[in-house]
Structure 1
Amino acid sequence: MSQSKQLSIFWLFRYLRPVKGRLAVLLVMLLSATALQLLQPRIIKQFIDTAAAQGVVSGLLALAGLYLVAAACNQLLTVAVSYLGNDVAWRSTNRLRADLLQHCLRLDMRFHNQKTPGEMIERVDGDVTNMSNFFSMFIVQIIGSFVLLAGILGYMFVSNWPIAVVMLLFTGISISAMVYVRDLGVNATQAERQAKAALLGLIEERISGIEDVQSNGGVPYVMNRFHRSMRNLFLTGRKAWMLRVVPWNATVVLFTAAVTVVLMLGVYMYMKGQVTLGTLFLFYQYTQMLNDPIEQIGNQVQEFQKAKSGMRRSREILSMQSEVMEGTGDTLPDGALGLQFEQVSFGYNKDSRVLHDISFNLKPGERLGLVGRTGSGKTSISRLLLRLYNADSGVIRVGGVDIRTLRLEALYRRVGMVTQDVQLFDGTLRDNLTLFDPRISDQDILATTGKLGLQSWIDELPEGLNTHLASGGSSLSAGEAQLFALTRVFLTKPSLVILDEPSSRLDAATEATLQGAVDQLLEQCTAIVIAHRLSTLEKVDKIMVLGQGRIVEFGDREALAQNPSTHFAQLLRTDRQEELA
């Protein structure tokens, strides 16, 4: 066995260790059921031979009762095996699902930008579901099948070796054929999973953009894409299924031949008086039973092909490493944090740079207004500061500490960001405002929401902070969502905060009311305010004008505003003219 296969099997078995006790019980029950399966035909053989010999009725009744008890016990064990097998599968696969989700959440934004949510659902759940049979029944079914085969063949060799030789040949050829083609459908199954992931990604993407799809007449185009994806899934799924059932088809042909030979030999021996009628039945019954473990092994080979494709895709995800590696530092200076960018360059891909040699310095407590055209690099600066991406070159320091040396949790404890898009989670209003942090008191929540103008909205809710909100954000207006995001960040009491277009969804009156509250909340921290509305930047200390990823201007706001030749002064004049118009 190759080293890679050994590592793959070892990787899977680590999820079975916590349920090894249940697996042992499962194996014992399966072996007990196998013993009962071997016993039942022998009871019927004895019953037939006793009846043919004009045996006493009490003996026949005793054999019938014994058969009923064995059949009932076998059925109970079958149900118990099915229940325990599913229990083992869920316990082990849920651990794998949790590991996959946790690993994905820790990967950098480059990875998440390449994967749609629909595809990630298929990776985290669909692929793992395909491995559930391996975790629950593969080992015990394989062992149980071989035990049943050994029991049938062993008894037949003792009873009648010619029949046993035919059965052994059938068994050997069938198992050899299945082993030979065991990986035949793995690649095709992997392609099938990828096609399903693409379909789910398409559905999720189009549903999330349903407003644009409907308002722009895109439904026919979406349906065309959907039908093409469905056809691709059908074709890849059909190919994978046809390759997976090759072992089963081979065993059907071999089984038909084996049953024919065994019946012909059995009838010949019965006609010669060499075996009884009960023994002839036993030959037939054991031949029928012989197909069950062979078919079970064939089914498990198919399931293993599915599991192997899921295993490959899951290991592919788990082997990915985030570009953003955590440091070990856990402390930053108390109070507002200073910020330094030192010759920072960055690009989302290697072919084009978004930021070029960005260098600036903010003292603790200062406020920086960041302006520039769309695509100038404003949001990229905030993403680098939060380590959603790594800078290609240069150093970013917070409180004099290189952010690459900090643990991400330590950085996020002190640095907050208000984004334009607000994500609501399925939970109470309190949970959504605190992001499920029980340490934040209701008094702090109400005080912050009162300053930001959300208190009246909360008072109108039927259960106040205990009101249940649906995920997605549809229960909030655009303005409420903006205030919601501000509340969420300021509840963490950040030492450095980034406000990305904090008033883009607010009307002028609400913005004016809100500005005082934001100023009050910003008193204890350093701030970067990204804005298109220059009115938002009236109380910042410094201004940075970006153009094509470079610093065009950087300096004190008042000095830049009073110098008519600066870019910022020109932007102010343009902004006033637009307001007058």
Structure 2
Amino acid sequence: MAKSGKAFDFKLFKRLLKFTNSYRLVFYFVAFAAIAMSLLAIVRPELIQLAIDKSIIPKDGDGLQYYILLMVAALVVEVLFQFAFIFYANWLGQSVVRDMRVKLFNLMMGFRMKYFDKSAVGRLTTRAVNDIETISSIFSQGLFMILSDLLKMVVIAGFMLYKSWQLALIVFAMLPLLLYATRLFQRAMKVAFEEVRNQVADLNSFVQERISGMKIVQIFTREETEYKRFKQINEKHKKAWIKTVWYNSIFFPIAEMASSIAIGLIVWYGGLNAAGGGVITLGIITAFIQLAQMLFRPLRQIADKFNTLQMGMVAANRVFGILDTKSHIDDSGTIQMPQSKGEIVFKNVHFGYNEDEEVIKGISFTVQPGETVAIVGATGAGKSTIINLLNRFYEIQKGEIRIDGVNAKEYTLESLRKQIAVVLQDVFLFADTIFNNITLNDPSITEAEVVAAAKEIGVHKFIQTLPNGYHYNVKERGSMLSSGQRQLIAFLRAYVSKPGVLVLDEATSSVDTYSEELIQNATEKITKGRTSIVIAHRLATIKKADKILVMDAGKIVETGTHEELLKKENGYYRNLYEVQFMAEEAV
């Protein structure tokens, strides 16, 4: 990881260059173009000197025309190289960031849920979009531009010494001041850009969360409070950028001043020498004025390009921070799970989202193939955690989970999760068509199969009432549908995947009566003959369950059927029934 304040991290840069290995020919061509441009830089000043000394002063019109034609030819060649250099440097940068973005996104899709629990969505979005785009500028505006400018400076310096060592020394005398200022500038900008990226990430995260949670903001009339917080965060963002502007406003006038002083000294010394009949000619003085500008301009540009390079390096440092994250569920299983029979065994399972705080405290239970097991208990009892553990979204700390007699860890993650369909209480739909939300773009599931499945569970009529039916776009998070409709889509999504095990969080607290009836019918249909674990919120579901697990504070306190559990005097389930379900039953 790059350290803040360090001017350049070669280890990080070397790692970044590995992403260019697939594009070596383009990389070498851009490097060659940079070298060619540096050599071409001295051609025009040399031709100007020759034109003045050999044509203009002797008043040779034909010779002047010849030199003008040469200058035009040199300019055309320089323009062609510059075009190729800029185009392919940018092409290389975009190709690298495309590969990095694909790798990053693929990696993030395999992260544990624990990673996303602790990471702000806005910050991850900044890494995957803004930061990676900034990395492209390393190649398009940073690395090769700096290489080209450095080579140009070396060639120009050598050419100056060859033409007139006296004038060259005058120009070089200004370089230590400019190099020292450049060094200080680079170090200061490294720290400043680190702060800028931090503030950009904070701003993105804040805006993303408030837009996503706008309903809560407005329900609780927090607009004024959130506005004030946004102003504070935005002010910090502005201050971070102002710091970079401050450093630029100091450095560039110093660079311009050094260039102007050098040109003034060239005209003074060279003019006196030429007037006194010395070896310095008018052509050489004119060439040196242009060469001095060409020498100092790349130095100023190098500082500017180094800013770009450093911003890219800061961004690369952040992206590699995610690429180096070890937050994957162990997928070392080798067994491909066939169509699951649906036998599930939890044996003395312990788990905590934080290692020192257990949420599941040594639970054991067995679900037979085809059984429907309802899990009931107060909020925070650990019901939803069982769903997460069954899918291996989190790793258990102790115990064993077996499916069809095999430890869940021995199955490949993909084959395990394909056999377990989950319908959550909080249904997530993508900004896409209903059909694509049901199939999740699985090409093996046809529209005919989806329609047939929808008819089976009683959802087809509802979908047909929507504009364009199965091709109706539900917009972001399914905002165009009611909560009940979203849940029906989730049921259909689970049903068409033909899972061996079905897990339902079947809350309907915010669902209208019509949708609730459809959901009850859909629940009965998709659980029939299939192993089902249901976090039960309705009495109707609980009564129909083959077995009820009653949870409290991470433990299973009672097990049995509805009738068996009601017979237990002062039992946990009976108390829960009397408080929560009797009113529902009366209705």
- Alignment TM-score > 0.5, same fold: yes
The 1:563–1:389 alpha-carbon spacing in structure 2 relative to 1, beyond 3 Å, is same
User: What is the CA–CA distance in structure 2 between the aligned matches of 1:479 and 1:203, rounded to whole Å?
Assistant: 29
User: Matched residues in 2 for 1:388 and 1:245: separation?
Assistant: 51
CA contact under 8 A between 2:141 and 2:309: conserved in structure 1?
Answer: no
Secondary structure in 1 matching 2:476? coil
- 1:314: Cα distance to partner? 1.6
Is residue 14 of structure 1 aligned with residue 18 of structure 2? yes
Q: 2:50 aligns with which of 30, 46, 49?
A: 46
Tell me how far 1:552 sits from its aligned partner.
Answer: 1.7
Q: Work out which of the residue numbers 164, 167, 183 in structure 1 matches 2:168.
A: 164
What are the within-5 Å matches in structure 2 for residues 379-418 of structure 1?
A: 379-418=384-423
Question: 2:442 aligned with 1:457, yes or no?
Answer: no
Show CA shifts across 1:222-277 (max 9, x none).
11110100111122233345457776566445434433333322222222222222
Partner of 2:424: 419
The answer for the alignment partner of 2:158 in structure 1 is 154
Check if 1:95 corresponds to 2:109: no
Question: Whole-Å Cα distance in 1 between the matches of residues 65 and 260 of structure 2?
Answer: 35
Q: Find the aligned partners of 1:571 and 1:290 in 2 and give their Cα distance.
A: 83
Deviation of 1:297 (Å): 2.1
Q: Is the 8 A contact 1:396 1:402 kept in 2?
A: yes
8 Å CA contact 1:186–1:308 kept in 2: the answer is no
Structural mapping, 1:307-326, within 5 Å? 307-322=312-327, 324-326=329-331
Distance in 1 (CA, whole Å) between partners of 2:313 and 2:383 is 45
1:284 matched to which residue of 2? 289
- Report the Cα distance in structure 2 between the residues aligned to 1:534 and 1:262, rounded to whole angstroms: 95
**Greater shift in the superposed pair: 544-553 or 281-290:** 544-553
Alignment match, 2:490: 485
In 1, the alpha carbon distance for the partners of 2:115 and 2:315 equals 19
> Partner residue of 2:433?
428
Name the aligned partner's letter for residue 333 of structure 2.
T
* CA pair 240-405 structure 1, distance change in 2 beyond 3 A: farther
Written as runs of structure 1 = structure 2, the 5 A alignment for 1:354-373 is 354-373=359-378
1:536 corresponds to 2:541:
yes
Equivalent of 2:273 in 248, 269, 274 = 269
Check the 8 A contact 2:37/2:152 in 1, yes or no.
no
Q: 1:341, 1:358 within 8 Å by CA — same for their partners in 2?
A: yes
Unaligned runs of 5+ in 2: none
Pair 1:350–1:553, CA change in 2 (3 A): same
1:419-473 deviation digits (Å, cap 9, x = unpaired): 1222222333322110010001222201211123321233234433344442321
CA distance in 2, matches of 1:102, 1:245: 42
Counterpart residue number, 1:123: 127
The residue type equivalent to 2:289 in the other structure is Y
Could you tell me which residue of structure 1 aligns to residue 557 of structure 2? 552
CA–CA separation in structure 2 for the residues paired with 1:311 and 1:222: 32
Q: Name the CA shift for 1:517/1:433 in 2 (closer, same or farther; >3 Å).
A: same
Matched, 1:70 2:74: yes
Q: Secondary structure at the match of 1:424?
A: coil
Mean alpha-carbon deviation: is it higher for 5-14 or for 230-239? Answer: 5-14
- Gap change, CA 1:239 and 1:402, over 3 Å in 2: farther
CA distance in 1 between counterparts of 2:247 and 2:384 reads 50
TM-score normalised per structure 2: 0.91
Deviation at 1:417, TM superposition (A): 0.5
- Superposed CA RMSD: 2.6
Match of 1:55 among 59, 64, 78: 59
The verdict on how the C-alpha distance between 1:269 and 1:457 changes in structure 2, with shifts beyond 3 A counting, is farther
CA deviation digits over 1:363-394, x for unaligned, max 9? 11111101111111111111111122122322
Aligned-partner Cα distance in 2 for 1:69–1:517: 78
Cα distance, 1:477 vs. partner? 1.4
Paired with 1:493 and 1:303, the residues of 2 have a C-alpha distance of: 52
Residue in 2 aligned with 1:144?
Answer: 148
Shift of 1:530: 0.6
Q: Does 1:23 align with 2:36?
A: no
CA distance change for structure 1 residues 536 and 62 in 2, over 3 Å: closer, same or farther? same
Q: Which amino acid is 2:487 matched to?
A: Q
1:85 aligns with 2:57: no
Aligned residues: 580
Question: What SS does structure 2 have at the residue aligned with 1:16?
Answer: helix
Q: Which residue of 1 aligns with 2:221?
A: 217
Rate the CA distance shift 1:141–1:494 in 2: closer, same or farther, 3 A: same
1:192/1:233 contact within 8 Å kept: yes
Letter in 1 for 2:82: T
**2 CA distance for matches of 1:466 and 1:161?**
77
User: How far does the alpha carbon of each residue in 1:515-564 deviate from its partner, in whole angstroms, 9 at most, with x for none?
Assistant: 34432322342111112222222221000111122212112334224545
1:348 corresponds to which letter in structure 2? Y
Percent identity among equivalent residues? Answer: 27
Q: Secondary structure at the match of 1:304?
A: helix
**Counterpart contact for 2:185–2:303, Cα < 8 Å:** no
One of 493, 496, 499 as aligned partner of 1:494: 499
Letter in 1 for 2:348: Q
Contact 1:495–1:524, Cα closer than 8 Å, also in 2: no
Contact 2:347–2:400, Cα closer than 8 Å, also in 1: yes
